[in-house]
């Protein structure tokens, strides 16, 4: 019987299959803002996408996405990317996030790619870059720290 | 450069006027309007907000925990609102950067409270801090520090001040 993220067998299976969609199905806020994931055409990893939705607008005068929604997208990407990238199945719990906003995010598709800069025994550091039309012109960059929990311990 | 530049609109607005203005602000923003974010009190340069519970705020269905990114969004909104009431005249101020510390998980099923204030208004930047909690302000779930860029009156799109302080439409 499926029990969610702390169901070790399910976590191992979805992880082996790279089934990020199965994980996203358990994250209502990520679904609400329109996060999806697909294979990265440039490499082995995952490319994340935020749908351009009217409900994600944070500034009507500038017609810009809500900076907090962009941050939530990047945090979701970092968490899921980390769940795929760790040596063993782990459940990341966020410790802190720092985000720099570089350009106005328009109501257009937004993409994100993550890099696991360090995986320690208990802590991980993930870097995220988010862009719209051109990856060379990111709208935001972020770095996040996570505690890595054993799935069975974090129920 | 001074904290209270002269001749601004803000000095003439009462706390109740600010509560109505910032309620309009979070109601005009599509994302916070759809989530039903409420402005509970404003005492410039400080704001108090309340996010009612909504199942879409979850970040993990199986464990019933709030999405960390939702907390970041609330801090960005609350800190950004404190900026508006701290300026001599409200300007559009995009977020420059934001840092959030997650002290403990936020639990689904309960409202989330946010208190934020502008700490310092400089010529080009407004520095803010904010706190989120559920059961008690003494047990915060997250703390945020956010800096905002002042676009200045010249680059603020027309209509911000009017939109904030317009007479309330009778049908609302």
Is the predicted pLDDT of residue B169 greater than 60, yes or no? no
Please state the rounded mean pLDDT for residues B138-155. Answer: 94
Domain ranges of chain B: 10-163
**Residue B4 — very low, low, confident or very high, per pLDDT cuts 50/70/90?**
very low
As a whole-number percent, the residues of chain B with pLDDT over 70 amount to 92
Q: What is the rounded CA–CA span in Å between residue B6 and residue A33?
A: 41
Residues A24 and A84: their CA atoms lie apart, in Å, by: 13
Cβ contact (<8 Å) for B58 and A27?
yes
Q: Chain B within 8 Å of A23 (Cβ-Cβ)?
A: no
Decide if A155 touches B, using CB distance below 8 A.
Answer: yes
Q: Which of A130, A21, A115, A26 is nearest to A73 (CA)?
A: A130
Cβ of B98 within 8 Å of Cβ of A60? The answer is: no
The CATH number of A8-154, from 3.40.50.1220, 3.90.1150.10, 3.10.129.10, 3.40.50.620, is 3.10.129.10
Q: Stretch B39-51: mean pLDDT, rounded?
A: 98
Distance from CA of A27 to the nearest CA of B (A): 5
Q: Copy the structure tokens of residue B102.
A: 């997650």
Q: For residue A88, which of A43, A120, A125 has the smallest C-alpha distance?
A: A120
pLDDT at position B1 is 42
Would the pLDDT of B171 be above 50?
A: no
Residue A141 has pLDDT above 80, yes or no: yes
pLDDT for position B155: 85
pLDDT at A154 over 90: no
Interface contact A60, partner B, CB < 8 A: yes
Among chain B residues, the shortest Cα distance to A54 is held by B30
A chain contacts of residue B59, beta-carbon cutoff 8 Å: 27-30
Condensed to tens digits (0 to 9), the pLDDT of residues A18-66 reads 999 999 999 999 999 999 999 998 888 899 999 999 999 998 888 999 9
pLDDT digits (tens, 9 = 90+) for B80-123: 999 999 999 999 999 999 999 999 999 999 999 999 999 999 99
In this predicted structure, the answer to whether residue B24 has a pLDDT above a threshold of 60 is yes
Dist. CA B55–CA A70, nearest whole Å: 20
Closest CA in chain A for residue B57? A29
Residue A11, helix vs strand vs coil: helix
Q: Which of B55, B63, B72 sits opposite A4 (nearest CB)?
A: B63
List the single residue in A with minimal CA-CA distance to B158: A61
What are phi and psi for residue B72, nearest 5 degrees? -60, -45
Tell me the DSSP string of B69-138.
Answer: HHHHHHHHHHHHHHHHHHSSS-----EEEEEEEE-SPPBTTS-EEEEEEEEEE-SSEEEEEEEEESS-TT
Q: What percent of chain A has pLDDT over 70?
A: 97
B10-163 belongs to CATH 3.40.50.300: no
């Amino acid at each position: 019987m499926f029990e969610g993220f702390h169901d070790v067998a399910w976590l191992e299976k979805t992880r082996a299959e790279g089934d990020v969609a199965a994980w996203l199905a358990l994250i209502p806020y990520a679904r609400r803002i329109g996060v999806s994931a697909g294979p990265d055409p440039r490499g082995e990893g995952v490319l994340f996408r935020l749908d351009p939705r009217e409900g994600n607008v944070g500034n009507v005068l500038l017609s810009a996405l809500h900076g907090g929604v962009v941050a939530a997208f990047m945090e979701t990407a970092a968490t899921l990317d980390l769940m795929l990238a760790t040596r063993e199945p782990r459940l990341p719990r966020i410790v802190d996030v720092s985000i720099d906003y570089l350009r106005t995010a328009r109501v257009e598709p937004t993409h994100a790619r993550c890099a696991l800069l360090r995986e320690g025994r208990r802590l991980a550091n993930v870097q995220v870059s988010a862009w719209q039309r051109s990856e060379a012109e990111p709208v935001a960059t972020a770095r996040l720290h996570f505690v890595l929990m054993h799935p069975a311990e974090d129920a | 450069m001074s904290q209270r530049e002269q001749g601004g609109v803000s000095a003439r607005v009462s706390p109740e006027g600010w509560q109505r203005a910032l309620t309009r602000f979070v109601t005009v923003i599509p994302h916070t309007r759809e989530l039903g974010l409420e402005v509970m009190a404003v005492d410039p340069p400080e704001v108090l907000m309340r996010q009612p519970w909504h199942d879409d705020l979850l970040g993990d269905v199986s464990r019933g925990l709030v999405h960390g990114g939702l907390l970041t969004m609330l801090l960005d909104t609350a800190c950004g609102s404190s900026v508006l009431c701290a300026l001599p005249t409200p300007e559009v101020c995009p977020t420059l950067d934001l840092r959030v510390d997650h002290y403990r998980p936020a639990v689904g099923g309960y409202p989330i409270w946010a208190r934020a204030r502008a700490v310092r208004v400089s010529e080009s930047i407004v520095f803010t801090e904010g706190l989120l909690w559920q059961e008690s302000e003494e047990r915060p779930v997250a703390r945020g520090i956010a800096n905002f860029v002042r676009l200045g009156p010249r680059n603020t799109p027309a209509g911000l001040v009017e939109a904030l302080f317009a007479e309330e439409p009778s049908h609302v």
